[in-house]
Amino acid sequence: MTPLRVRFAPSPTGQLHVGNVRTALFNWLLARRHGGTLILRVEDTDVERSTRASETTILTDLRWLGLEVDEGPEAGGGHGPYRQSERLPLYAAAAQTLLESGRAYYCFCTPAELATERAAALAGGSPPKYSGRCRALDRSASARRVAAGEPGALRFLVPQDREISFTDLVRGPVSFHTDIIGDPVIVRSGGVPAYNFAVVVDDAAMEISHVIRGEDHLSNTPRQILLYEALGWQCPFFAHLSMVLGPDHAPLSKRHGATSVVEFREHGYLPEALVNYLALLGWSPGGNEEVVALDEMARRFDLADVGHSAAVFDRDKLAWMNRHYMKSASGERLLDEAWRYFVRDGVATHARAQPSDEARAFLLSALPMASGSVDRLEQMPERLSFLWGWDDAAVAALIQQEPGGVEVTHAFSRVLTDSAPLDRDAFRAAASRVRELTGLKGKQLFHPLRVLLTGAESGPELDQAVPAIDRGAALGASAGLRPILSCQERARRLSLRFDSGS
């Protein structure tokens, strides 16, 4: 059996789109499932739009997602180089073979002539297709014109009246008639190979056994099959994945919101949540199971379980998946991932790459109050804003609208006579004393207390929030976090305000 070799072949012209990640993921899963090899090939023949920066982003994103490749520009390997721009001699050699066997010919049609042909076809209601005008040119005369410096593109001679059929491993039997296929340009007049040609030369030279890619390439496949045939090379298996769509069933794009891995990372999604969610776009691990870790997916993955209906990207489902992974992540991991948002939101007083030991210990104790109730890591500082964001003017306005609010504030301030930090038991004891002093109990007592101490109508359990406030208030400036007012100080300030009538 030939070894399984698959490839992910992005064009480095921008950020890595989640649709492409899913293609990379399915290639990765198939390679891991069968002990095969995953190759990363950078399709950078579009010199105008390709950049090294984009290539670096793509590599970084794949690594972040846990999708390491076995061969590629950084990983190396025995089938390089792995950038198309470095493989030009291979394309030139294959083009020469096709020229010599009469399967390719030079075309001298100008862009204007081609545009007129195209417009005429469209006006006549037929799909635009190259007329084949230059097919009839004398081959040796054409070769002389090119040698003399005249610009000419190389076109592949598509055989007439053939049915090209293949079995797509996702979509089943597919066939195209060659009548609808115009002779494609395989090498542009400047010598740059066209996608359909370069991809065949590379997939053959890299001994790719399975081509797994987006359905947008399905109509390219018959051209590629014909090229394999003309070059006497064996065709790989093909699998075309359905497109990833937005909720309006248009291809997922910027107007639907975040689409690139970079954006999802910036918004605080965990990589394992993103890969798990993307795997479910088209693949079913079986049963009702949805939360499946990457290594487990790799044990179960089979192309036969990939569906071909369009996959709609559902942000709520992704948020649900992210919540799941956040809940099961360790505190240390969450803090490492979320720290940058504490820096971004100004909770950290210095833009340090890591929190200080003191801040780390404190945040580790506070994070569980946020991790179970936010969709994304970036929302954590906001969820914990009762610690740093307490503002007496704003809280005073809120609490004055609370039945019993002012009374509870005075009583609480009176009860907290020493500045010992409140732990859970001390808070409960203080709350009982306030109940005795005010006669308020249950919700009528705890709701104003919550507003007073956290500045919000809802939030984490007071039993956890109150001790966290006082632990935070005890931190010194060296912790590198914004100062936190103690519960006693909060009550004292408001009580003073109410006494002075402001």
Which residues are designated catalytic?
A: 254
Q: Find the part of the chain contacting ligand GLU (CB under 6 A) among 9-17, 117-125, 264-272, 340-348.
A: 9-17
CB of 362 to ligand GLU, least distance (A): 46
| Residue with Cβ nearer ligand GLU (9 or 377) | 9
The type of residue at 280 is: L
Helix (H) or strand (E) holding 238: strand 237-241
* Alpha carbon distance 89, 157 (integer Å): 22
CB of 470 to ligand GLU, least distance (A): 55
Binding of residue 9 to ligand GLU (CB under 6 A): yes
Closest alpha carbon to 24 in 268, 219, 281, 206: 281
# binding residues, ligand GLU (CB under 6 A): 7
CB of 137 to ligand GLU, least distance (A): 31
CB of 10 to ligand GLU, least distance (A): 5
| 175 φ/ψ angles, rounded to the nearest 5 degrees | -140, 150
| Residue with Cβ nearer ligand GLU (42 or 406) | 42
| Residue with Cβ nearer ligand GLU (10 or 268) | 10
* Alpha carbon distance 206, 482 (integer Å): 56
The encoded tokens of residue 27 equal 């290639």
Q: In the window 62-101, what residues touch ligand GLU (CB under 6 A)?
A: none
The encoded tokens of residue 2 equal 């030939």
| Residue with Cβ nearer ligand GLU (84 or 276) | 84
* Alpha carbon distance 169, 215 (integer Å): 12
The encoded tokens of residue 260 equal 């690139």
Residue 447 CA, chain-centre distance (Å), reads 41
Q: Which of 43, 71, 272, 470 binds ligand GLU (CB under 6 A)?
A: 43
Binding of residue 213 to ligand GLU (CB under 6 A): yes
CB of 43 to ligand GLU, least distance (A): 4
Angle, CA 233 vertex, CA 37 and CA 94 arms, to 5°: 100
Q: Find the part of the chain contacting ligand GLU (CB under 6 A) among 6-14, 44-52, 172-180, 316-324.
A: 6-14
The encoded tokens of residue 48 equal 């105008």
Helix (H) or strand (E) holding 343: helix 331-344
Whole-angstrom Cα Rg for the chain: 32
End-to-end CA distance of the chain: 84
Q: Which of 5, 32, 87, 217 binds ligand GLU (CB under 6 A)?
A: 217
Binding of residue 236 to ligand GLU (CB under 6 A): no
DSSP letter at 219 equals G
Binding of residue 10 to ligand GLU (CB under 6 A): yes
| Residue with Cβ nearer ligand GLU (199 or 206) | 199
Residues in the site for ligand GLU, rule: CB under 6 A? 9-11, 43, 199, 213, 217
